[in-house]
Structure 1
Amino acid sequence: MAEGKEDKVGDCEEAPEGDADVAGEQNKEMEEGEEDGEEEEGEEEEEEDDIEDEGGYTFKFKDGENPLDFVEDNAFSVQPYKQFERLEYEALAEKKRKALADSQPEGSSKKARLEDVSGASCMEELMKAMNYGRRRKSKEPKKRGRQKGSRNRLNRDVAKMIGEATLYYAHCRYEEAISVLHQIVLQAPDLPDSYHILGLVHDAMGDKKRALGFYMLAAHLMPKDSSLWKLLMSWSIEQGDIGQANYCLSKAITADPEDIQLRFHRAALYLELGDYQKAAESYDQIHQLCTDNVEALKTGAKLYKRCGQLEHSIRMLEDYLDGHPTEADLSVIELLAVILMNNNEHIKALQHIEDAHLKYCSGEELPINLTIKAGICHIHLGNMQKAEVLLSLLEGESAYHHIDLVIEVADSLVNLGHYNMALKYYLMLEGNAGSHVGSLQLKIAQCYLSLKARSQAIMFFFKAVQTCADDIDARLTLASLLLEESKDDEAISVLSAPNNLESSNTHSDKSKPWWLNAKVKLKLCQIYRAKGMLENFVDAIFPLVRESLYCETLRQKVKVKKRLSRRALLERVKVLDNCDTDNLFSGFRPVASTSDLVKASRAKKLLQKKEEKKAKALADGVHWQSDDSDDEPLSRIHREAPLPNFLKDEDHHQLIVDLCKALATLRRYSDALETISLTLRLASNMLPVEKKEELRILGAQLAYATTEPKHGFNYVKYIVQQNPYSVAAWNCYYKVISRLENRDTRHGKFLHSMQGKLKDCVPPIVISGHQFTTCSHHQDAARKYLEAYKLMPENPLINLCVGTALINLALGFRLQNKHQCLVQGLAFLYNNLRLCKNSQEALYNIARACQHVGLVSLAASYYEKVLAIHQKDCPIPVLPNEKPNEEHLTPGYCDLRREAAFNLHLIYKKSGALDLARQVLKDYCTF
């Protein structure tokens, strides 16, 4: 009907001259058909009943419904075919419920109703309900004559209006045509011609959405018109709506079951959707309808095999052979043999090939492909002599004409471990392998490797890598062989990027070149690590590790919000269908709550945005790819890590530790600290205890080596918590926090908690005193130092700290007994001198204190004692499990004679003894 009308109307730009005559003839035909169609009307009504019985559902508008609401409401939101699916489901379900209720024993109320009607009509309704879904022919004689109230026959006014609308469309007067057609729709809502012409008009105006809606209505009112369904299917495919295309295609097949091409289209759609089971069933149906279509048979068998239904696939092919005892397509036998051989049923495959030789090639030779497959079966069965006789067809020039068969034979020999025989067939094609050069060289190399011929294997691996540069596994295998042969430089060159990157970089934007592959980088960094090439090792692996840790951190931080699929959005939008009482589909949805209405409105907006994007993409000529899926993969939200599951592999834990150490050696402290922090955060449950301890100690070491120690505070804090009475651990902690900001709250809270938990732990008390001294709170500092003195009175450092605090306090303005405080401070310094056994450091501290308070004569005498002592270097305290590193220290770092000489020369200079001051500097402060 669609094609016929389009041919009649013609192009809108050049309307035919006889359009008015055509319209008049059409009106005349309609009037004559109405006057003279009494007999046809009865037959048509009976045929309509048959259609309804066969299809189970025929779309009809209810009284009081406006059909235009359907197209208007769904032009930009819900797809029309979804609504029809739901309506059909509701109608069929209601009909089944009614049939079931009628078939059950009836109560008194039903019995009373049955008594009101005649027995014949009651039995007729009951039989109609019980025979639902089956096509039946009425045994009653056909009714002749005009039937009163028929809805399918046009009256004169409607026929005239149809003609006027057709003329308006032919002359491109679309607005007038739409106005007339809307009047027709209101008068005769079940007339399909009006919707079809409305679809033509809106299509000519460029409004594809409304045109599709009207065509959909026309097709549902004329379900047997396959041309309309085909048109809707093609439009749906153009718009990229595969679901709607599949729906229309199913309707077209129902309308015209004999059209094989439609079934081919449906099978192709199932393949595009990835539904291989339904595609296999479609090809199976095609073969049953057209038994001579061998391609459909083979395609269906392959798809069944892909779906795991191997027995069904074999049975299809065997049934075809049973049905062709004298002549058959030999490609079917080849496919059957391949399927059986892949299932290790070589005896059965060989039997089918031999039977085919007797049935279909009597007195003639089998095709070479079947003969070779028979030889392969004999190889698997152990009949090597028989196999060699059959495979001799491939020797000589025949091998160059059957490259695929030669490779198939050689692959079978490799799978069975016959590497020498496989090499014989592979080497046949070495000079003329065509497009199989790279894979052939790789297979030859694998054969030599299996035969432990390393030199030949390396040679062919080099050839394969040159031919197939992107073969990662070949490169890794070649690099391993070169390392075993102690050819480290060659292995590095195989895995390194080529020198001429511009000429070799022929990859697309989406694919990365082979030298950026994660496996290649890992292998290369292992070589660099073994050779001690730290810079190359870090450059190779650090970018991959950092990117992988960053991606894992994003996945843990960001809470992925599941994106609703289009199906879920459409379900939500259906809530809005009941808000308008004039809507076509009102009454199908219950009253919704406020929250459901809000969700439905949001879903409708999302659908509108998607439709706008889709329309824009199609207008720009860009291929539209919908992102609607039930489970939105994480890879669309976050980019994939270059080393997925890197932290879960135990072999990579030591690699991370070595990387952090290498970064520390190269003084890339911030990178090392960042790597340690992310690793411990992401893999705290995966790393062994010793690895975590090693990383934390390394982080503590880096904390006081980096310029920004705030990133390493947690590590020194952990070291102190694990070793609370270790002076070295507290030294490391104080070195880090002494360079932090003064108002760092983490330090104050931690120090306060440690003092509360460990009452007898001296280091946190001393560090608190140091913090008060830094802030010039000498009275609080003295109180803390005296608290520590009570716990360890014989500790030299505590005596020194108490003495310095009291002396600084004596120099303040608010203290009244300054002399007493000064004497007490000097007493603690002399106690420090006694505990240190008159060491150079203790003498220097007394001299410095005397100089500070103005006792210069006493200070000069102690400075002279310091100059008379030569102090040896002492080892620097190290962290637990840390190796001492004194390479960066210059000799004499513990000797204080230069500091003492400088202070002594200041005293001499201030007193006027310039010659003595000059002599002291010359003796001790010059080289």
Structure 2
Amino acid sequence: MELEKDLTSKFLSGEMSFAEYSNEWYNIEDEEDVDEASKRNDDGPLLFTEKGMHRRRKYARLPPGLLGLMGEANLRFVRGDKDTAEKMCHEIIKQFPTAPEPYQTLAQIYEQDTEKSLQFSLLAAHLSPPDAEEWLRLAAISKQREDYKQEMICYTQAIADDPHNFDSHVKRMELLDKLENMKYPIQTLHITKLKCYHKIVTSLPASEGETIMKYAKLAVTQYHNNNEMERALAVMSSAYKKCPTLFTLEDLNIFLELLIGQKQFHTCIEIFVANAGVEIEAEIQTVKNAEGDIEEQTNYLNCSIPNSLPIDLKSKLLVCFIHLGAINLVQTLLNDFLCNDVEKAGDLYMDIEEALSSAGHHELAIKLLEPLVKNNSFDLGAVWLKHADCLYMLGRESDAIASFYKVLKHAPQHPDARRKLYSILEKKGRIDEALQMLEQDFKYVVNANLLYEQCLALKKYNKLHKYLEVGEALLSKNFVRFRHQEELNMACMVRCGIELIHNFRTLRGESQYHENDIHFDEDEPFKFTPQQEWDFFLEMLRTACNLKKYFTMQRLTFGAMMSKSLSPHRMDIDFYCLQACLLSNDNHNASRFIREFAQKHPTSRTWNLLNLVINYTDRNTNSKFLSRLFQRDTSNNVIKNLFLGNNFLISGRYLVTLKYYLEYHDKCRDPLSAFLIAVTILVMAAQRTVDKHHNLILQGLAYMETYRNLRKCDQEANYNMGRVYQMLNINNLAIEYYERALACEQVAKCDQHGTIDLTKETAYNLYLLYKDHSPLMARKYLMNYLVI
């Protein structure tokens, strides 16, 4: 009551139209559900229930005091005192807003104001007891005003008040036809032709049987097209309840098909007995179920079928008996059914076979399948698949293999056939043949679930190269394969999804998908969870690395940057991209990733990787980048001197190099800085454009002595001293230091990397020094140290 008062007040104040008012109050959208004939169970008869179209309420009656005031208002109106009558009506509404009488009087008072009069009449009709004629009158007025939504509401209320009036139904459908021709947005009315058909079937009395059947067929056809089988059954059940004698054999066939689809087999048996002339002998037994409760169970003993009964109805009767467990009857009836021509009744054979297979009676199902597969008209993949499944369930695996191959002949990509064939061949030990069954042609639509199962099988049998190939194909469902460097640049700069790459390709005038892209079955539900996808991605990387498929690693890591589910791991993916680029010698892209790491993670490992990459990339770009990098963090000035010194040394700017190395040596005083300074000075001394070569050589040798004193490794220090003197053609000193290096112990031993030893390098340099002037000495070093 409070809700209705609130709605009425809003309507009177003009805050809502009557269409909005009625939509709030009436549940028009559920109108087609007035008959729920589908509510039944397999063990009982049809159950029919009805529910009202709108909310149930009692119509309000004025209390005695206000009833007298209402009578006085009507008397004043008749005498012509409209103002007083209007005030009295408003006073009644103020005290009791849900009574219809004051609105009826106000509608008459505002007779000259068509709009107000109509609104008061609509409200009065809504608050009054059912009066279909009044709603039809208001519909006619709304029609004149071309207020189609209000007109539709009026027809709907007229039908609700008098559902047996067929004319009201017809007028509503005529209005729908008119609006469809006008291209009016029908969806805003919440009424469709299908709802009208359903309402006619559930509303008209049994005496209008022909009309009921006409609209029931129309409704069932549309429900079937919309795949709304429960609603189709509901409307057909309502029609059958009212006029079962008007059901033709064709109508019964449709009705039984709907009932079988909803597994209402007992109801089907009742209809066969009542309408199809089938005689059934049965007994009811009382048994205990699995829970220990007592229940009744029907045992079907005998069945007599008229010869005139169409074969499609016979097949449906057989299906019902199969699902009801009357297997003795089924065996008898099946032998009779098999006498029918397969060419004409093949589809019915399939229906019965499906019921038998679902109930586990494969020995009977194969009797139906054998004639089908021998008939050319049913030489189809679906038939062979059922045949193969049935043979497999019967334990005839060798015969099942042949049938599964027939399936693949008709449907080469069929995932279920390939999966089952793999299982049988694996069991028989034909592993290579079994693995071939899991392969799919990427030119056609690919099943992702089968692709994943192929990965597991390949890993199980250690076919790692193929495993990596198939795994990469599976990951391509969520990964991107870049076509241009610009796409990779975009992926590196922005954490974007595949859609951004597709939009970029569209802007370039390219197709979003390449002809070689794998097309996955969109209806297939297989999907990795984010954690599963991450684990599988890491496993693919490890496999590619172990197999030294570095370019595959690169494709995988680049593609992973576009996966939305892997976005939480973006930092790890970037590092894997760097590793893949280093392994595949893609220094250009490696430089992109290491630069970002150097800015975010300034550690010793980062500096080593950065130094490794910049040695193979453009020098000018590196100098600018390094200057910007170390300007941000002044704490790394020492490392800055080393990096810039190395960069300028390689580019040939030796004076600038010397400046940075000297600054580094002043702060660190380590053997590396002394050695680098010595190398730089000696290289400068070798330049023709430099004066005072001897001074530079002496300075270089002085720093080499400093390096030898600081370096606590005799073999390395002596070897490098020998190399310097050999470069300067001071061979006697070079030989002396090489001899010392040979007499020293090796540089280092490591369990992981082995032994670091310069003996062979030293001996080879001695061989070069002696070979021209003392071949015997050269041969001595060759035989002692360099023979494998």
TM-score calculated relative to the size of structure 2: 0.58
Find the counterpart in structure 1 of residue 103 from structure 2: none
For 1:127-166, list aligned pairs within 5 A: 129=118
Find the counterpart in structure 1 of residue 397 from structure 2: 454
Find the counterpart in structure 2 of residue 844 from structure 1: 719
Find the counterpart in structure 1 of residue 373 from structure 2: 430
Q: Is the 8 A contact 2:369 2:387 kept in 1?
A: yes
Aligned equivalents of 1:404, 1:123: Cα separation in 2: 69
Find the counterpart in structure 1 of residue 270 from structure 2: 351
Find the counterpart in structure 2 of residue 900 from structure 1: 765
Distance change in 2, residues 1:893/1:706 (3 Å): farther
1:700-747 deviation digits (Å, cap 9, x = unpaired) = 264154143533653697599889456xx7544432222122223555
CA RMSD of aligned residues (A): 6.1
Aligned equivalents of 2:462, 2:626: Cα separation in 1: 39
The one-letter code of the counterpart of 2:704 is L
Is residue 335 from structure 1 mapped to residue 247 from structure 2 by the alignment?
no
Distance change in 2, residues 1:547/1:385 (3 Å): closer
Is residue 828 from structure 1 mapped to residue 747 from structure 2 by the alignment?
no
Is residue 278 from structure 1 mapped to residue 196 from structure 2 by the alignment?
no
Aligned equivalents of 1:386, 1:539: Cα separation in 2: 55
Q: Match of 1:456, SS?
A: helix
Q: Match of 1:862, SS?
A: helix
Q: Is the 8 A contact 2:210 2:246 kept in 1?
A: no
Aligned equivalents of 2:475, 2:533: Cα separation in 1: 10
Report deviation, 1:858: 2.5
Distance change in 2, residues 1:470/1:828 (3 Å): same
Q: Is the 8 A contact 1:442 1:474 kept in 2?
A: yes
Distance change in 2, residues 1:384/1:832 (3 Å): same
Find the counterpart in structure 2 of residue 125 from structure 1: 112
Aligned equivalents of 2:392, 2:314: Cα separation in 1: 31
Find the counterpart in structure 2 of residue 396 from structure 1: 339
Q: Please, which runs of 5 or more residues in structure 2 have no aligned partner?
A: 1-15, 21-69, 87-105, 123-133, 147-166, 281-303, 483-490, 504-510
Q: Match of 2:760, SS?
A: coil
Aligned equivalents of 1:664, 1:120: Cα separation in 2: 87
The one-letter code of the counterpart of 1:714 is F
1:65-113 deviation digits (Å, cap 9, x = unpaired) = xxxxxxxxxxxxxxxxxxxxxxxx99999xxxxxxxxx9999xx99599
For 1:850-869, list aligned pairs within 5 A: 850-851=725-726, 857-866=732-741, 868=742
Aligned equivalents of 1:559, 1:704: Cα separation in 2: 27
Query: Structure with the greater relative contact order (CA < 8 A, sep ≥ 6): 1 or 2?
Result: 1
Report deviation, 1:662: 5.9
| Among candidates 671, 679, 682, match of residue 560 of structure 2 | 679
The one-letter code of the counterpart of 1:549 is F
Find the counterpart in structure 2 of residue 770 from structure 1: 646
1:274-327 deviation digits (Å, cap 9, x = unpaired) = x99835335547877993685752341354477787675445323433444545
Report deviation, 1:870: 9.5
Report deviation, 1:489: 3.2
Distance change in 2, residues 1:291/1:815 (3 Å): farther
For 1:486-497, list aligned pairs within 5 A: 486-494=429-437
Report deviation, 1:329: 0.9
Q: Please, which runs of 5 or more residues in structure 1 have no aligned partner?
A: 1-88, 94-102, 138-219, 224-252, 499-511, 562-635, 879-883, 909-913
Aligned equivalents of 2:190, 2:413: Cα separation in 1: 31
Aligned equivalents of 1:319, 1:822: Cα separation in 2: 108
Report deviation, 1:810: 8.9
Distance change in 2, residues 1:292/1:857 (3 Å): same
Find the counterpart in structure 2 of residue 237 from structure 1: none
Q: Is the 8 A contact 1:670 1:706 kept in 2?
A: no
Aligned equivalents of 1:120, 1:741: Cα separation in 2: 91
Q: Is the 8 A contact 1:448 1:456 kept in 2?
A: yes
For 1:672-821, list aligned pairs within 5 A: 672-680=553-561, 682=563, 685=566, 696=575, 699-700=578-579, 702-703=581-582, 705-711=584-590, 714=593, 724=603, 731-742=608-619, 743-744=621-622, 746=625, 756=635, 767=643, 769-771=645-647, 773-774=649-650, 775-776=653-654, 777-789=657-669, 797=672, 800-801=675-676, 804=679, 821=699
Report deviation, 1:134: 6.2
Report deviation, 1:676: 0.9
Report deviation, 1:847: 1.9
Distance change in 2, residues 1:676/1:518 (3 Å): same
For 1:554-569, list aligned pairs within 5 A: 555-556=497-498, 558=500
Distance change in 2, residues 1:264/1:518 (3 Å): farther
Q: Identity rate of aligned residues, in percent?
A: 16
For 1:95-106, list aligned pairs within 5 A: none
Report deviation, 1:461: 0.8
1:6-53 deviation digits (Å, cap 9, x = unpaired) = xxxxxxxxxxxxxxxxxxxxxxxxxxxxxxxxxxxxxxxxxxxxxxxx
Aligned equivalents of 2:250, 2:407: Cα separation in 1: 34
Q: Is the 8 A contact 2:678 2:704 kept in 1?
A: yes
Aligned equivalents of 1:771, 1:280: Cα separation in 2: 80
Aligned equivalents of 1:899, 1:544: Cα separation in 2: 53
Q: Match of 1:291, SS?
A: helix
Find the counterpart in structure 1 of residue 158 from structure 2: none
Aligned equivalents of 2:272, 2:231: Cα separation in 1: 20
Aligned equivalents of 1:423, 1:736: Cα separation in 2: 69
Aligned equivalents of 2:497, 2:230: Cα separation in 1: 45
Aligned equivalents of 2:170, 2:274: Cα separation in 1: 40
1:211-259 deviation digits (Å, cap 9, x = unpaired) = xxxxxxxxx9999xxxxxxxxxxxxxxxxxxxxxxxxxxxxx9999699
Q: Match of 1:739, SS?
A: coil
For 1:520-535, list aligned pairs within 5 A: none
Distance change in 2, residues 1:539/1:265 (3 Å): farther
Aligned equivalents of 1:664, 1:701: Cα separation in 2: 9
The one-letter code of the counterpart of 1:915 is H
Q: Match of 1:843, SS?
A: helix
Is residue 317 from structure 1 mapped to residue 236 from structure 2 by the alignment?
yes
Find the counterpart in structure 1 of residue 65 from structure 2: none
Q: How many residues align?
A: 594
